[in-house]
Structure 1
Amino acid sequence: MPELIAPTARLHAAWLEARDDWGPGVHEDGFGLRPSDEVDSPDGFASWVARLADETGRVRCTYRWIVEGDQVLGGIALRHELNDFVLRAGHIGYGIRPSARRRGLATWALGRMLDEASVLGLDRVLIVCEVDNAASAKTIERHGGIREDAREHDTMRRYWIKIGEPSA
Structure 2
Amino acid sequence: MPQLTTPTARVRTSFLKAMREFADENDAWFNGNSMISEEIRRYGDVWEEPEGFAGYVADVVAAADPATERPAGWVPATVLWYVEGDEWLGRLAIRHAYTPHLLEYGGIVGYEVRPSARRRGHATAMLRAALPVAARLGFERVLVTCDHDNTGSRKVIEACGGVFDDQRGVKLRYWVPTGGPSPAG
Distance 2:40 2:144 in 1: 20
Question: Could you say which structure has the higher helix fraction?
Answer: 2
In the alignment, what sits opposite 2:183?
Answer: none
1:66-118 C-alpha deviation (Å, 9 max, x unpaired): 11111101111111111224223110010111111111111111011001011
Q: Partner letter of residue 89 of structure 2? A: L
In the alignment, what sits opposite 1:158?
Answer: 173
1:4-33 C-alpha deviation (Å, 9 max, x unpaired): 111112221110011112225436956572
Q: Partner letter of residue 91 of structure 1? A: I
In the alignment, what sits opposite 1:65?
Answer: 81
In the alignment, what sits opposite 1:132?
Answer: 149
In the alignment, what sits opposite 2:138?
Answer: 121
The answer to whether residue 39 in structure 2 is matched with residue 33 in structure 1 is: yes
Residue segments in structure 2 that go unaligned for 5+ positions in a row: 181-185
| Aligned counterpart for 2:92 among listed residues 63, 67, 76 | 76
Distance 1:12 1:125 in 2: 30
Q: Is the CA contact (8 Å cut-off) linking 2:10 and 2:86 kept in structure 1?
A: no
Q: Secondary structure at the match of 1:138?
A: helix
Distance 1:28 1:65 in 2: 19
Number of residue pairs matched? Answer: 163
| Aligned counterpart for 2:125 among listed residues 94, 103, 108 | 108
What is the RMSD computed on CA atoms of the aligned residues?
2.0
Distance 1:30 1:139 in 2: 18
| TM-score (ref. length: structure 2) | 0.80
1:107-147 C-alpha deviation (Å, 9 max, x unpaired): 11101100101111111111111111100000001111112
| TM-score (ref. length: structure 1) | 0.87
Q: Secondary structure at the match of 1:148?
A: strand
- 4+ long deviations beyond 6 Å: none
Q: Is the CA contact (8 Å cut-off) linking 1:64 and 1:75 kept in structure 2?
A: yes
In 2 relative to 1, CA 15–48 (structure 1 residues): closer, same or farther, beyond 3 Å? same
Distance 2:144 2:138 in 1: 17
| Aligned counterpart for 2:50 among listed residues 42, 45, 51 | 42
Q: Is the CA contact (8 Å cut-off) linking 1:91 and 1:125 kept in structure 2?
A: yes
Give how far 1:43 is off: 2.5
